[in-house]
Amino acid sequence: MSRLLKQQQALLPAPAHELAAQMAEAGYKVTQPRLAVLRAAVALDKAFTVHELEQWLLQRNESPGIASIFRTVKLLCDLELFQRIHGLEDCHRYSISGGHAHHLICVSCGALKSFDNCGLRDLITTLEQQTGYHINDHVLELFGRCPRCLAV
Amino acid sequence: MSRLLKQQQALLPAPAHELAAQMAEAGYKVTQPRLAVLRAAVALDKAFTVHELEQWLLQRNESPGIASIFRTVKLLCDLELFQRIHGLEDCHRYSISGGHAHHLICVSCGALKSFDNCGLRDLITTLEQQTGYHINDHVLELFGRCPRCLAV
DNA sequence: TTTATATTGAGATATTGTATCAACACTACC
DNA sequence: GGTAGTGTTGATACAATATCTCAATATAAA
């Protein structure tokens, strides 16, 4: 079976392949169900829900049990390869993290841009001085409409 | 019953009283269950969960049905008197909004500071130019430790 | 190949809500 | 003061997201 696995990995689009490699590096096995989730996430190419992953995989008759999809998403979040998206309506979407912390999301189609330079340093310094808090983390998500949806 | 209601309102701490007034202004009845939720939220004085509201009220034997607590929280969110908090671990906390959009939250005790000037205008302008998106909303939450928890 | 460990899938369970609907409580009108 | 209409409540059912349990299976290491 491990030969089959290697064959499939070789056929993966680069991003899923890279994510799988990072999973392996972290000491986790790159199994078929986990690969399937990675492929789905890469293919969807937007902020996705677990349900959307499952639907994508069901259409291709390669869906693992829903528990395994949830487990894989959680594992990838813990490894900081996936990231939870904080939406305006709900917080049940995830994205491939790419090491970036923040997102710009199209409320119309779900298209997503990641960026890391959030320019909050001054605000954080000011707030620390004003409040006496020691700030060490933050959530920042921006919402709007992407060029394609604006053109429609 | 309406005499009793007025008597109790007069005993409220100011913030709950004000929130109740705004509910009334918006055309909603200020009932005992709704007042109870307001009192609990004010008393907790931090980012709270619906479960925490219920516990606070149960301890005082004045808890409405859980459905009414959820309904009241939702109503107050719709009226922008409460606001959902986007936490690092989950997004099931709420705060009294005070019209401000952003929060600084102590991860240790849940203490909460609100502020409105988030200084994101430059970032938003830059991102709009870089991406072609039209940005019209955002979520920003900051996390750290409050002075009291830092002192422990 | 054998052994030990990690992972899976199915189903039960938990958590956070929302929908339904009969009973109740106000309000306005007569 | 009664009555009708509306808003609200509480109990329960239901839904969506997610985790737990545990036997069966897959994988890796010896």
Q: CATH no. for residue A63? A: 1.10.10.10
For chain A, how are helix, strand and coil distributed in percent, rounded to 5?
50, 20, 30
Query: In chain B, what residues touch A113 (CB-CB under 8 Å)?
Result: 127, 131, 133
Same domain for B76 and B4?
yes
Same domain for B32 and B79?
yes
Same domain for A87 and A148?
no
Asked if pLDDT for residue A135 goes beyond 90, the answer is yes
Task: State percent of chain B over pLDDT 70.
Answer: 89
pLDDT for residue A138? 93
Same domain for B9 and B81?
yes
Q: Chain A: which residues have CB within 8 Å of chain B?
A: 86, 88, 90-91, 104, 106-107, 113, 115, 118-120, 122-124, 127-128, 131-147, 150
CATH number of the domain enclosing A133: 3.30.1490.190
Q: Is the model more confident about B110 or about A93?
A: A93
Q: Residue range A113-119: average pLDDT?
A: 84
Asked if pLDDT for residue A68 goes beyond 80, the answer is yes
Same domain for B111 and B79?
no
Task: State percent of chain A over pLDDT 70.
Answer: 89
Of A88, A113, A138, the CB nearest to B140: A138
Q: Write down the residue that tokens 């690969």 correspond to.
A: A35
- Domain of A76, in residue numbers: 1-99
Same domain for A91 and A120?
no
Choose the final residue of a domain: B74, B99, B124: B99
Choose the final residue of a domain: B54, B83, B99: B99
pLDDT for residue B13? 52
Q: Residue range B71-82: average pLDDT?
A: 96
Same domain for A116 and A93?
no
Gap from A137 CA to chain B (nearest CA, Å): 5
> Terminus-to-terminus CA distance in chain A, angstroms?
48
Cβ atoms of residues A64 and A37 within 8 Å = yes
Asked if pLDDT for residue B122 goes beyond 70, the answer is yes
Same domain for B92 and B57?
yes
